[in-house]
Structure 1
Amino acid sequence: MSRRRSSVRFFDPAGARFGVPTWPWRMAPPHLRTRRQLAAEGLRPGGQDVAGQVLWNSRRGGGGVRAAYLYDVRLALPKRTPSERQRLALAKALKARRICPACHRDAGYVLPRHLGTCLDCADDVEVTAA
């Protein structure tokens, strides 16, 4: 399917066909942004409803149509900054995910959940089992 036909297929700024205003890839109005675009600007949706969506044909995972929801940047709020206690709690939780329960070392990376130990301890178990 050509880009032009898919552009016409997904062009519904009134929201009559899709229930919410819809645009093809890269054709949304400039005041609408995705969550990721808002985050890059230091903003968050702030409880507002979805103002529209972008639809496009995808070749990933068997194809189909993908969607990205859009929010009005004029209604967006600044991102909240965590308190010092929240930052400390997050650092503590992230550190706990790096500590190997077998050798009690900080592995320097988040331990794979399917192994449950650091890679060195997992290799030692495989060598002794073989």
Structure 2
Amino acid sequence: MTERWGWQPTAWLQDGLPTWRWRAAPAGLMTRRQMRAADLAPCGADPVAQVVCRRGRRWALLWDVADLGPKRIPSTAQLAALDRALAARRRCPTCSRDVGYCIPRSLGSCLDCHAPLTAAVHAAA
């Protein structure tokens, strides 16, 4: 720990990674959310440290900013394919209409087709 970030009296090793308490990590390290906000990606780099909060119940991995690269930008064909896939998940196989939400795989159909009597009672109320 001392050669990469200098002397860190508040850090300890946990699962082979230097670990700090919340808001005590040195500058130059980023979490996944911070990477997403900065349009960066790990690009195959492994996490170099972690932060722990809530008495060890919550933790976040940290990456060195120098190891990060730009996030990939999807092509228009990829975005179109994603739109088609999401539209297919919203279409009910029973009534063939777009219900506006993803059909639960456990039911296999929209809520109106799965329980028509319950839906009719709620629609009348």
Fold agreement, TM-score > 0.5: yes
Q: The residue matched to 1:26 in structure 2 has which SS?
A: coil
Q: Distance in 1 between matches of 2:117 and 2:107?
A: 10
Q: Secondary structure at the match of 1:121?
A: helix
What residue in structure 2 maps to residue 35 of structure 1?
Answer: 32
* 5+ residue gaps, structure 2: 1-9, 120-125
The alpha carbon displacement at 1:112 in A equals 1.7
Q: Which moved more, 1:118-127 or 1:103-112?
A: 118-127
Alpha-carbon separation, structure 2, partners of 1:65 and 1:91: 37
Aligned pair partner of 1:54 in 51, 72, 82:
51
RMSD: 2.2
Is residue 2:13 matched to residue 1:21?
Answer: no
Match of 2:77 in 1: 85
Q: Report how many aligned residue pairs link the two structures.
A: 111
Q: Tell me, which stretches of 5 or more residues in structure 1 are unaligned?
A: 1-10, 59-63
Distance 2:15 2:90 in 1: 45
Counterpart-to-counterpart distance in 2, 1:44 and 1:125: 49
Output the TM-score relative to the length of structure 1.
0.74
1:43–1:79 Cα contact (<8 Å) kept: yes
Shift of 1:119: 1.6
